[in-house]
Structure 1
Amino acid sequence: MDREQGEMQFLGLFGIYKESYRVIFSWRKIFSQITLALILPLSFVFLLHIQVSDVLFSKIVHNKIELDETRPETDRYNKISDVLSKEWAVYLIIKTFYFTVLLVFSLLSTSAIVYTIACIYTGREVAFGKAMSVVPRVWRRLMVTFLCVFMAIFVYIVVTVLILFTWALLIGSTNLGLVILAVLGIAYLVGFVYITLVWQLAGVVSVLEEDYGVKAMIKSKCLIKGKMGVSMLIFVPLNISGYLIQFAFERLVVHGRSTETVGRFGYGALCFLLLSMLMLLGHVVQTVIYFVCKSYHHESIDKSALSDHLEVYHGEYVRLKSKDVLLEQFDV
């Protein structure tokens, strides 16, 4: 990066976007290669899953309705019941396969892009082959971090359900109860966005630092302090854009008119392209925010030391160790 790290703390909403776009276009070749190898398959699997799941679930619903309208203990009833069981089994298998592939490609793309931007930051020459060779050695750390975040989200949802159950039991749908419900809803959304921010930054920490899992989440939580507002202003629109693309795909492609095959294909290709671009931008932005947060907390990363640790040494990826090279305090 051309910008000195000490200056990055002053980047705001538009500055972070501008820096992210500059990084992508300045090194468009390697980001294009990463997109072709990882981002495009990730987007394709995501959209294909929506289409396949809709078809399978529609059949399940149709057969469930027929089963309910059929007299039990008849040949027709048993036949529909067997078909329904097989459809549920196929549906669950496809769901499991989808989440596995989605998780793997998400972790691999995060590893590759974070490593690439770190090399760019240190002024190192980075090649697609080297970036991909590092990926298998760091994605396991990302997996541990993801599982920790998943558990945190699970606990968060369970606590939310218990609070809602208590609300329904003690207050209910009175005027005061509806106000409290609205407040709880807003608090839930804010908390969920916060966990998402910590999760995304923890992924970068897991690649570039020695911490992963719960420690990466704690480090991410500390880093994001002071940059919470600008981070939300960046990630919330990005996530909303993703939901809008998903909604458009479902409305125009999945549930589009069968007579408009060419139009549906065109809309599908457009959604695929937009989603791929959005995923690439999101990964780059979260890495840029990491360096912005480091600069904001006056934590200087020694570029030569970072460069050494980004080397593939004897075939192994050497992670940054905070005690050795990571955080050298500097004065602004």
Structure 2
Amino acid sequence: MEVSAGLSPRINSNALTRDKDEENESTDLENFEFETTDHSIRSESDHHFHSMSALEILRETVRILRYNSTGFMAITAVLICPVSAVLLSNVLVDQSLVKKLTLRLWLVAKSSGLPLRPFIKHSCQKFSEVAVSAAMCFPLFITLSLLSKAAIVYSVDCTYSRKKFDTSKFYVIITKIWKRIILTYLWACGVISGCLTLFLVLLVVVSSVFTIMGFPSDLILYPAMVVGFLFSIILANAIIICNVSIVISVLEEVSGPQALLRSSSLIKGQTQVGLLIFLGSTIGMAFIEGLFEHRVKTLSYGDGSSRIWEGPLLVLMYSFVVLIDSMMNAVFYFSCKSYRMESEDVEDEPVLEALTTSSGSIDVQ
């Protein structure tokens, strides 16, 4: 891929020059600085680097959102909101499939020795709903959702490059990198599916072993909960790696397993920050999903008029959380990249450049 200029993950406003006619238009952009004063400057005494914390990444995300609020709101309205509405309403989910899968999971849990308590039954039903919803909504995930992630990453990159979001340039870029984004996404789905499958198999094996050893079903629940807790941490790390790999597939010429390996290497030492980002986003989405389930699907007032405004409002709230999550993943990538380059004392490399100058002279792998 031919590029003419590179992008430094750290913004220095002193390097920005503008003609007098453009001073008013670029005031906000000149004042936009990537916060590195406290966390990414080499200390003369101990020669250590300090990366951005989760709170600093959130603050940086808000700064970027304020700078280009119109573009991000357009992405939210056009690409994120339709997917959020479908996910929250479960309009594509076949409840008969959910019931069948839930029943099978109950039978597996019972045969492995787990007591069919309300917690176990609810977990089986929730897992079935998520699995069926993911399968039914997969076409939306691999089109609108993936396109929204790419647009968000491109917008964040444009902010750090001191450029405005250009729809025509983004169209040219996405046509050239779409295959590698899809390949990376499919590998990420395979990794997450593999983790969930391994968890279910391990849970059944552990429960069966304790059953064979003669433990009562009430006591088997505790080692099963320990396995679930440990595996939730593993799954969270896998999701973080997969999220950053999508960002990498947009900004760098790697895809598939190479992007996953690159992501794992890039966030090494920064896993705690990624976990906090993932935890915050997950809690926010789960809270809104619970509100939608209670206020829109179950509860209504009189003729159900409350659903007319509560439903769209919760969809917008959910979409906004998804937007912030994607933006924070992009900022997290730039933070890790800046930290890695400074700690290794290497020069900055080009990350993403508009590919519209000469489409015939550009070769994207």
Specify the TM-score bucket, using the shorter chain as the normaliser: 0.7 to 0.9
**Selected match of 2:184 from 121, 141, 145:** 145
Residue in 2 aligned with 1:86?
none
2:109 match? none
Q: Residue in 2 aligned with 1:112?
A: 151
Superposed counterparts of 1:1-332, under 5 Å: 1=11, 2-3=33-34, 10-48=51-89, 50-51=90-91, 53=93, 57=95, 98-172=137-211, 173-174=215-216, 177-257=220-300, 259-298=302-341, 302=348, 305-306=350-351, 309-315=353-359
Contact 1:47 1:272 in 2 (8 A): yes
Q: 1:111 to 1:242 in 2, by over 3 A?
A: same
Structure 1 residue 125 displacement after superposition = 3.5
Where 1:210 maps in the other structure, the secondary structure is: coil
- CA gap of 1:96–1:224, structure 2 versus 1, over 3 A, is closer
Q: Distance in 1 between matches of 2:360 and 2:297?
A: 44
Mapped contact 2:176–2:364 kept (Cα < 8 A): no
- Counterpart in 1 of 2:14? none
Following TM superposition, by how much is the alpha carbon of 1:221 offset from its aligned partner in structure 2, in angstroms?
Answer: 0.6
Q: Give, in whole Å, the separation in 2 of the partners of 1:32 and 1:104.
A: 19
Measure, in 2, the Cα distance between the counterparts of 1:153 and 1:319.
Answer: 31
TM-aligned CA deviation for residue 147 of structure 1: 1.3
CA distance in 2 between counterparts of 1:124 and 1:262 reads 44
TM-score (ref. length: structure 1): 0.76
Deviates more, 1:98-107 or 1:257-266: 257-266
Indicate conservation of the 8 Å contact 1:108/1:136, yes or no. no
Q: Check conservation: 2:61, 2:331, Cα contact below 8 A.
A: yes
Name the SS for the 2:165 alignment partner.
coil
Q: Would the aligned equivalents of 1:205 and 1:220 in 2 still touch at CA under 8 Å? A: yes
Deviations 1:179-232 (A, max 9, x none): 432321111100110111001000001011111111100111111111111111
Q: Which amino acid aligns with 1:18?
A: R
Residue 318 of structure 1: how far off its partner (Å): 5.8
Equivalent residue pairs, number: 286
- Per the TM alignment, residue 138 of structure 1 is displaced from its structure 2 partner at its CA by 2.3
Alignment root-mean-square deviation, CA: 3.1
Preserved CA contact (<8 Å) 2:185 2:256: yes
Q: 1:315 to 1:261 in 2, by over 3 A?
A: farther
Distance, in Å, in 1 between the alignment partners of 2:197 and 2:157 is 37
Separation in structure 2 between the aligned mates of residue 134 and residue 21 of structure 1, nearest angstrom: 26
- Tell me which amino acid in the other structure corresponds to 1:99: F
Shift of 1:237: 1.4
- Which ranges of structure 2 fall in alignment gaps of 5 or more residues? 1-10, 12-32, 41-49, 100-131
Deviation at residue 176 of structure 1 after TM alignment: 6.5
Deviations 1:65-107 (A, max 9, x none): xxxxxxxxxxxxxxxxxxxxxxxxxxxx998663202321111
Change (3 A) 1:59 1:38: closer
Residues 316 and 159 (structure 1), Cα distance of their counterparts in 2 relative to 1, 3 Å cut: farther
Change (3 A) 1:211 1:47: same
Q: Decide which structure has greater helix share.
A: 1
Q: Summarize the Cα distance change of 1:138–1:41 in structure 2 as closer, same or farther, 3 Å threshold.
A: farther
C-alpha contact 1:149 1:199 (8 A) present in aligned 2: yes
